[in-house]
């Protein structure tokens, strides 16, 4: 009884062309892929090299300011008695008009609202449909860069970022097709619920809507995660929309990755006519979970002094189904420059890697798009919670009526879509809006509007105005700071933020990967002004040698002789830096309750970046280090610095970290020094059983490094008796 058997989809045949004026006819039309982007269609027709090679993005600048017109000659499917012909346009980036034989059917600003047009009896063979896409939005007078996007709902990242070239996509980025639908049909079906305080009961509301007022019957059945029917009913529908209440006892709960199963129920519904004949069908998955953001440990105490100077920190501990958990994860960015090319096949390997890295939270940053449906479906299935930001980032979005109107409509569409997913755990206004470079405040109407819309449409999901909030840290983004020489060990070892919602540790990509997109003649040595710079190795961010940080590499290792050596050294720092930060954040649990590095993935190949996974889905060495640091249970050493000298005294505190929802047996940790192929035990700690979700701090281990050690690496191993899966290793620098 699936929906497809009641509805037939038919593709359209698109071409696309451009002109400088809205009313001007494009000189030529070239074949268009939908969903896609006008840039890709045009580049393909011209036979250009791939946009991600070398400095190719430079070719595309002029396209931003053109009007692009998609054209499709119509040959609409036949529509019988009791059927409707609907044109569905899932999303167009960014402002557009839909025209039939030159007459405007609708105009819209905003890429996150689908358009559905009932053209029954109106569209005929030989007609022509056009979708005219306006030039990329740019605020008049804004300087080149993200500021141009500060008055629209188009993600700012494509206007240029420190890991994204200037390349502003335009075009039909979601599916667009004819759909022949039964009449009447289900225009909407959604299960909303509220859990009882003890989580033992879910009060359901099955919301339905028809395309028109009609007396029909909705037959519905709720299946549990094993496919067994657990509730069902038949309801005569009166009116055009309404809801049906039902009560589910002892619902099986949805849990984040490694905290429990990702149980998902499914509602199946059929629309029946007066004779009991099925007209239409729909289904809807639902995961029952309660998400709260609660105060961090110690945060109230800190604010308990009288008189009450200032306020307490923001609540940043995720409590899922009554259990406060440590959120381990990352900042997810757009996985492609052109969102039209994204499909479930883009998401699947990236999310699978995230799940395997023991992550449970992805912050979907406000500079990028809100992802397609399959992203949320996969996150539901994989237990990856989503912190979903609206498309605001690092800008001062205005209080004006036009912008607020678009944001209102776009955000309502985004919330209505996201609230259907168990994985969507946090709504957030956008990125770094309460910092000087953005200049927004608690009074900014766009943020008050978003809070309002989230409250109206999804009140039980937490809403953050932005990140960072009071008590939360973004950064640092360097293994070693140039100004004060502090390393990640010191920076994060001394930080006491309640959540690290961004931090970075940059590194070059693997050498063989870099060879695939930097022309051979530019490969060595890396230089500014070349493809290295275009791919973010230089001048990406305030420190001029970001993200390659040659100065840092030379500080630790001296000059590198070749690309392979350079990359291996940089990746070594990235691995140990990230390993330390994730473990340190976990050692600060639950004063600290979140560690999300910047960033997970990337939209095109970078020569150097903070990412863990190269485009499109290649794990970097740092990915493996982070995966190690995020295991549910592991031995951990609070390393204090990276580079050591022969004969130096080494001291580190031992820890057992336990994020598992179950207790762990006691045991023994052996600390073993591996140097020049020799292994030596340097300490031991017998630790007691660990309660569920609780760390144990152990003793400090102290030993002397050999005075005669040569210039090389050494490794501190932590070996847990009988539990090799909990072993850890820290590879550090010996410099004679």
Q: Applying CB under 8 A, which of residues 115, 407, 472, 654 lies at the interface with a second copy?
A: 472
Helix or strand or coil: residue 367? coil
Among 251, 383, 468, 667, binds a second copy (CB under 8 A): 468
Kindly state the smallest distance separating residue 441's Cβ from a second copy, in Å: 4
Among 442, 562, 564, 712, interactor with a second copy by CB under 8 A: 442
| Shortest distance (Å) from residue 659 CB to a second copy | 23
Return the closest-CA partner of residue 588 out of 664, 504, 492.
492
Nearer to a second copy, 201 or 452 (CB): 452
Does 432 interact with a second copy (rule: CB under 8 A)? Answer: yes
- From the list 485, 542, 708, 724, which residue makes contact with a second copy (rule: CB under 8 A)? 542
**From candidates 27, 141, 275, 304, binder to a second copy by CB under 8 A:** 304
Cβ of residue 336: shortest distance to a second copy, in angstroms? 27
Cβ-contact 349, 335 below 8 angstroms: no
Report if residue 150 touches a second copy, rule: CB under 8 A: no
**Closer of 142 and 523 to a second copy (Cβ):** 142
- Residue 27 CB, shortest distance to a second copy, in Å, is 42
Q: Is 459 in the site for a second copy (CB under 8 A)?
A: yes
| Other CB atoms within 10 A of residue 307 CB | 4
Angle between helix axes 563-587 and 621-629 (nearest 10 degrees) is: 20
Q: CB of residue 297 vs a second copy: minimum separation in angstroms?
A: 13
Contacts with 619 (C-beta within 8 Å, 6 or more apart), sequence order: 353, 612, 613
Told to check if 466 binds a second copy by CB under 8 A, we report yes
C-alpha distances in Å from residue 681, one per residue of 560, 602, 699? 33, 41, 15
Residue of 629, 647, 622 whose CA lies nearest to 718? 629
Size of the site for a second copy (CB under 8 A): 53
Give me the residue label for tokens 């004026």: 21
- H or E segment and range at residue 684: strand 678-687
Can residue 309 be called a binding residue for a second copy (CB under 8 A)? yes
Least distance from a second copy to the Cβ atom of residue 416, Å:
17
Q: Which stretch binds a second copy (CB under 8 A): 29-37, 454-462, 560-568, 650-658?
A: 454-462
Nearest CA to 379 out of 502, 285, 474, 248 is that of 285
In angstroms, the CA 538 to CA 549 distance is: 8
**Are 700 and 653 contacting, i.e. CB atoms less than 8 angstroms apart?**
yes
Judge whether 396 and 440 are in contact, CB under 8 Å. yes
Q: CB–CB of 471/497 below 8 Å?
A: yes
Among residues 452, 486, 591, 618, the one that binds a second copy under rule CB under 8 A: 452
In the list 462, 510, 621, 683, the residue contacting a second copy (rule: CB under 8 A) is: 462
Which of 1, 188, 239, 300: binder of a second copy (CB under 8 A)?
300
The 478-517 site mask, x for binding a second copy (CB under 8 A), equals -------------------x----x---------------
What residues numbered 703-732 form the site for a second copy, per CB under 8 A? none
Ramachandran area for residue 164 (φ above 0: left; ψ -120 to 50: alpha; else beta):
beta
Residues β-bridged to residue 237: 216
Stretch that binds a second copy, among 178-186, 236-244, 289-297, 672-680 (CB under 8 A): 289-297
- Which of 212, 215, 249, 301 is in the footprint of a second copy by CB under 8 A? 301
**Tokens found for residue 426:** 């946090």
437 binds a second copy (CB under 8 A): yes
Q: What is d(CA 220, CA 232) in angstroms, rounded to the nearest whole number?
A: 5
Does 435 sit near a second copy (CB under 8 A)?
yes
Residue among 498 and 669 whose Cβ is closer to a second copy = 498
> Under 8 Å CB-to-CB from 491, ≥6 apart: which residues?
476, 481
295 near a second copy (CB under 8 A): yes
Q: Which of 137, 315, 570, 621 binds a second copy (CB under 8 A)?
A: 315
Task: Choose one: 48-56, 271-279, 297-305, 356-364; the region binding a second copy (CB under 8 A).
Answer: 297-305
Q: Which is nearer to a second copy, 464 or 720 (CB)?
A: 464
DSSP state of 253: B
SS (H, E, C) 97-154: EEEECCEEEEEEECCCCCEEEECCCCCCCCCEEEEEECCCCCCCCCCCCHHHHCCCCC
Rounded Cα gap, residues 717 and 680, in angstroms = 10
| Interacting span for a second copy (CB under 8 A) from 248-256, 340-348, 448-456, 688-696 | 448-456
The SS3 of residue 459 is coil
* Cα 55 to Cα 398: distance, rounded to the nearest angstrom: 34
- Does position 306 interact with a second copy (CB under 8 A)? The reply is yes
Kindly tell me which residue out of 6, 42, 477, 513 binds a second copy, with binding defined by CB under 8 A: 477
Binding region for a second copy (CB under 8 A)? 292-295, 300-301, 303-304, 306-312, 314-315, 432, 434-437, 439, 441-443, 445, 448-449, 451-452, 454-456, 459, 462-466, 468-477, 497, 502, 542
């Amino acid at each position: 009884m699936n929906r497809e058997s009641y509805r037939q989809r038919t593709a359209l045949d698109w071409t696309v062309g451009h002109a400088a004026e809205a009313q001007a006819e494009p000189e030529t039309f070239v074949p268009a892929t939908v969903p896609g982007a006008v840039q890709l269609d045009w580049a393909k027709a011209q036979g250009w090299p791939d946009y991600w090679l070398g400095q190719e993005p430079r070719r595309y600048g002029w396209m931003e300011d053109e009007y692009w017109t998609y054209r499709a000659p119509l040959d609409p499917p036949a529509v019988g008695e009791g059927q409707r012909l609907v044109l569905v346009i899932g999303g167009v980036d960014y402002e557009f008009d839909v025209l039939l034989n030159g007459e405007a059917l609708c105009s819209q600003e905003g890429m996150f609202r689908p358009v559905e047009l009932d053209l029954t009896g109106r569209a005929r063979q030989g007609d022509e449909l056009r979708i005219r896409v306006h030039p990329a939005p740019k605020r008049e007078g804004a300087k080149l860069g993200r500021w141009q996007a500060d008055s629209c709902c188009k993600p700012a990242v494509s206007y240029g970022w420190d890991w994204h070239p200037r390349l502003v996509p335009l075009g039909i980025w979601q599916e667009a097709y004819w759909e022949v639908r039964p009449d009447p049909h289900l225009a909407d079906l959604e299960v909303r619920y509220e859990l009882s305080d003890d989580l033992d009961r879910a009060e359901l509301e099955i919301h339905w809507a028809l395309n028109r007022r009609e007396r029909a019957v909705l037959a519905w059945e709720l299946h549990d995660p094993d496919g067994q029917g657990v509730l069902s009913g038949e309801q005569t529908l009166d009116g055009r929309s309404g809801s049906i209440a039902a009560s589910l006892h002892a619902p099986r709960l949805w849990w984040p990755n490694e905290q429990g199963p990702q149980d998902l129920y499914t509602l199946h519904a059929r629309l029946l006519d007066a004779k009991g004949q099925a007209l239409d069908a729909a289904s809807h998955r639902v995961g029952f979970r309660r998400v709260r953001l609660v105060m961090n440990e110690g945060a109230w105490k800190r604010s308990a002094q009288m008189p009450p100077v200032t306020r307490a920190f923001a609540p940043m501990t995720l409590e899922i189904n009554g259990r406060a958990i440590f959120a381990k994860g990352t900042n997810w960015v757009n996985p492609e420059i052109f969102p039209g090319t994204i499909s479930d096949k883009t998401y699947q390997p990236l999310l699978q890697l995230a799940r395997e890295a023991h992550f449970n939270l992805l912050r979907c940053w406000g500079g990028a798009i809100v992802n397609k449906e399959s992203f949320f479906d996969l996150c539901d299935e994989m237990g990856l919670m989503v912190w979903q930001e609206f498309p605001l980032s690092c800008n001062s979005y205005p209080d004006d009526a036009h912008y607020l109107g678009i944001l209102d409509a776009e955000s309502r569409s985004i919330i209505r879509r996201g609230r259907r997913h168990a994985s969507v755990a946090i709504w957030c206004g956008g990125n770094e809006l309460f910092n000087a470079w953005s200049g927004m405040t608690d009074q900014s109407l766009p943020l008050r509007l978003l809070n309002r819309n989230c409250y109206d449409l999804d009140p039980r999901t937490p809403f953050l105005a932005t990140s960072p909030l009071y008590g939360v840290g973004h950064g640092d983004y360097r293994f070693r700071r140039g100004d004060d020489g502090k390393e990640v060990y010191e920076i994060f070892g001394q930080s006491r933020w309640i959540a690290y919602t961004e931090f970075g540790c940059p590194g070059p990509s693997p050498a063989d990967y870099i060879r695939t997109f930097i022309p051979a003649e530019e490969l060595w040595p890396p230089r500014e002004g070349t493809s290295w710079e275009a791919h973010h190795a230089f001048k990406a961010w305030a420190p001029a040698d970001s993200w390659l940080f040659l100065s840092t590499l030379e500080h630790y290792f001296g000059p590198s002789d070749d690309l392979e050596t350079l990359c291996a050294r940089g990746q070594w720092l990235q691995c140990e830096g990230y390993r330390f930060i994730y473990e340190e954040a976990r050692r600060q649990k639950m004063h600290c309750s979140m560690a999300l590095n910047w960033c997970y993935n990337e939209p095109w190949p970078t020569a150097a970046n903070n990412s863990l996974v190269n485009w499109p889905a290649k794990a970097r060495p740092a990915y493996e280090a982070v995966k190690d640091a995020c295991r549910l249970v592991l031995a951990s050493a609070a390393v204090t610095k990276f580079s050591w000298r022969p004969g130096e005294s080494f001291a580190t505190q031992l820890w057992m970290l336990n994020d598992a929802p179950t207790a762990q047996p006691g045991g023994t940790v052996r600390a073993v020094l591996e140097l020049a192929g020799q292994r030596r035990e340097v300490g031991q700690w017998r630790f007691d059983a660990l309660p569920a979700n609780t760390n144990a701090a152990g003793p400090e281990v102290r030993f002397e490094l050999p005075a005669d050690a040569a210039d090389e690496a050494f490794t501190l191993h932590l070996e847990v008796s009988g539990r090799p899966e909990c072993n850890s290793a820290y590879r550090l620098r010996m410099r004679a």
